[in-house]
Structure 1
């Protein structure tokens, strides 16, 4: 499932052509995918008995925070750029 999260990020970055506004969307999508994987893992009971639910939430929450923080930074970078038509 975690390979799917990476695939969302990679495909999103390619579609966005690595432009800041598109990268922000791709990273928010990646954070959402990470959250869905977390929910699926908790509902299905994956990781038990080695990884309790709190560990799964904390570890995945860390990556969700990183993806969301990166998306926020890309969004700020996109606001600082002039429009393509402006010269």
Structure 2
């Protein structure tokens, strides 16, 4: 499939996904999205889909494509959850801003590796370790004071939830490692 067709599919999928909250708003008071919520979600979904399309087409290997999907989904879930409810306490906790470093580590590592499977594996494992380190810092080192202090945050719940997120990055790293072992070939396709 050509690149423009792939991007058009991403745009259509983004539009269809945004119809879900739009329709839900017509039938329930539980869903209350503002225009900026739709813009944020649209940019996030379209950007994630486009990133997948651009990266996955670099190598001709199913495991590589799956690894890209898991890594991109990990980034999407991290940003979405952090913006919606926060990963440590509420979304107002300033420690949540630290988590933006995780996708930065993953993307920087991927670019430095030129999207090669072994380098991508290292980048995803680095993102996973960064995630764990940020969680430890947010819970045990940097404790917000004043209005941002949240004594009701249960460390076990935060550790389990963040452990799951870190594991998703690690799974992506493991899949990239498998893709490198199976001998991926560079996919030279001109759009």
Output the TM-score relative to the length of structure 1.
Answer: 0.85
Q: How far 1:51 sits from its partner (Å)?
A: 2.5
Larger Rg over CA atoms: 2
Q: When the two structures are aligned, how many residues end up with a matched partner? A: 84
Q: Does 1:48 align with 2:150?
A: yes
Give every structure 1 segment of 4 or more consecutive aligned residues whose post-TM-superposition deviation is greater than 6 Å: none
Output the TM-score relative to the length of structure 2.
Answer: 0.41
Name stretches of at least 5 consecutive residues in structure 2 with no aligned partner.
Answer: 1-97, 186-191
Superposition map of 1:31-42 within 5 A: 31-42=128-139
Q: Does 1:75 align with 2:177?
A: yes
Name stretches of at least 5 consecutive residues in structure 1 with no aligned partner.
Answer: none
Alignment correspondent of 2:107? 10
Alignment correspondent of 2:166? 64
Q: Alignment RMSD, CA only?
A: 2.0
